[in-house]
Amino acid sequence: MVSLFPLAQIKLGLRPISSASASGFTRLSQRFYTTTRSTTCSSQTSAMAATDTKNLQPPVAKKVKHEMEMFGDVRVDNYYWLRDDSRSNPEILSHLQQENAYTDFIMSGTKHLEDRIYAELRSRIKEDDISAPVRKGPYYYYERTLEGKEYVQHCRRLVENNGDVPSVHDSMPTGPEAPPEHVILDENVKAKEHAYYSIGAFKVSPNHKLVAYAEDTKGDEIYTIYVMDAETCTLVGDPLVGVTSYLEWAGDEALLYITMDAILRPDKDVRTFSDHLVVYEREKGLPRVTFYPLPPIGEPLQSLQGGQSVEFIDPVYSVEPAESQFSSSILRFDYSSLRTPPSTYDYDMNTGVSVLKKIETVLGGFDISNYVTKREWAVARDGTHVPISIVYRKDLVKLDGSDPMLLYGYGSYEICVDPCFKASRLSLLDRGFIYAIAHIRGGGEMGRKWYENGKYLHKKNTFTDFIDCAEYLIQKKYCTKEKLCINGRSAGGLLIGAVVNMRPDLFKAAVAGVPFVDVVTTMLDPTIPLTTAEWEEWGDPRKEEFYFYMKSYSPVDNVKAQNYPAILVTAGLNDPRVLYSEPAKFVAKLREMKTDENVLLFKCEMGAGHFSKSGRFEKLQEDAFTYTFILKILNMVPIKVVV
């Protein structure tokens, strides 16, 4: 059950909650492998410090035979020894450091390009900025970013005319005559003490006197919840330790929070107002926002009639609900597309008037009219039509098969990968790349059946859909096999691992970020927290049918002696969702088995978790590195000019 946490009893112990309770809370699509607080390795020198990198060779992991038998089937894992839940084994840490050193060595010749791309990514950011203020009671609340700072400040400012009825035309006053800004929490100050820092939730109490926030200082997604006085910024009581970031206020003096023993997921991308009901739904793979008028208070609701949908301008796009006030007719939502930067709108459901409150500033001469977005439909081998979202720069792309392409996929947990904007992607588009998202089965873009037909004993549809999308794009002359690069993270990394085993000839380069690649071993280990809950997604391999089906696609179990494309694999040492040892084992087995001489790199962040580094500029470094790897493989690295 959900834990109710009175502030007067802040030392309340943690209690597990069942997967059937707390239905109003977000369902976590994640796998917590361990709740052990790991030792962060802040230095990557040790064994590699004295290594001569002039002739550095790919690290070769030792082989220690480990047999696992199930249903008369024996699997041999020679790299099982790479798993250490404490993250403190010197031999394992040394091996990871050797992999990082080798990656640095191979990429050293393109460091100038990586630095240039990083500078591009950062130059597009308006570093000193604020989010669209949201009016709540007597205050406007917003986040502020400062020039040169990695993290945000959480701020508020008094509403000058609090008695006025809220309007879509409201704007927060600024300047010397405006009410002063109050910084409630400055993440930059808090982050100084940690290599990793992330706030997963920041919630203000209904009376605006208290703030509860969830803090992660390792990247392991094990949060500590603090309560503070919003005015004085002093802590109230003792913190809640070892919980998730999902919390809400229950009145002014109690919190609802969720521990780590449940996985809950919402069905209905619904919002209630005093006079309207807003439904977030999907049609043909795209989100829709439909609002319905409600009868006057005291009259029964017979049926939902007269629904109106908000119209959007791009053929493919993303829209998410933002914080709106119950007593208002103003609906706030966030909109973006593959070419439209994140935009916050206030929509008056009584008048139909929509006002843009904030659009993310993209510096560096960005012009939305230079880019084209479109939707294509690939036909899968079983006749299913699979949507693909595409964006490219119209003055650079030829559409004759000669253009480079990056194809992204996920396809698990009923997650919808909607086509949203990412400023860093411009560094590929402006170099002539086509970027595409394959909305494959296993995701939720096309409804519940779309998900069900890509899970359990239908999981291979996820992989074959992706392959069929790739072949469709080649057939339509968006690219060729020699120009096709693919990317996926987490369960999307499983996708990448599976398809390079199945069709290694189809791709030039593959990037598998924090990939879930050791499916059978992980799902057979009930000592790993939440393994049993994950059986809902993948099936229970203790049952023979599921065991052999999982084994037939699990990337680690299906590496074979064949040529592979160039591959980059990443991991986070503190990752609680995909234990670092999974990608480490995958790379070790690939090095042992593959018959080509294509580049295989493994990069493990020694002080981060599933989502890489925490700072907004630090995250850009990962994008710059990934893009440089892709450009290197495609021979698109410009010659370094030495002055």
User: Quick check: 209 and 228 in contact, CB under 8 A?
Assistant: no
> What does the buried/exposed string (b/e) look like for 290-305 if buried means 16 or more CB atoms within 10 Å of the residue's CB?
ebbbeeeeeeeeeeee
CA–CA separation, 277 vs 270, rounded Å? 7
- Give catalytic status of residue 439 as yes or no: no
Q: Which candidate in 95, 610, 612, 623 is catalytic? A: 610
Residue 433, C-beta contacts closer than 8 angstroms, at least 6 positions apart: 392, 403, 404, 405, 406
Q: Looking at the DSSP assignment, which residues form a beta bridge with residue 138?
A: none
Confirm whether 575 is a catalytic residue: yes
Do residues 434 and 398 touch, judged by C-beta distance below 8 A?
no
The length of the chain in residues reads: 643
Beta strand 210-216 pairing with 405-409: unpaired
Would you give the DSSP letter of residue 525? -
Check 77, 465, 575, 623 and give the catalytic one.
Answer: 575
Question: Is 216 marked active-site?
Answer: no
d(CA 362, CA 125): 6
Q: For the stretch 550-576, what's the b/e string if a residue is b when 16 or more beta carbons lie within 10 angstroms of its beta carbon?
A: bbebbbbbbbeeeebbbbbbbbbbbbb
Which among 633, 595, 376, 632 is positioned nearest to 482, based on CA atoms?
Answer: 633
Element (H, E) at 213: strand 210-216
List all residues 6 or more positions away from 100 whose beta carbon is below 8 Å from its beta carbon. 44, 48, 602, 603, 604, 606
What's the CA gap between 564 and 586, in Å, rounded? 13
Cβ neighbourhood burial of 602 (10 Å; 0-12, 13-18, 19+): buried
Question: How far out from the chain centre does Cα 633 lie?
Answer: 25
Catalytic residue among 3, 324, 343, 490: 490
By annotation, the residues acting in catalysis are 490, 575, 610
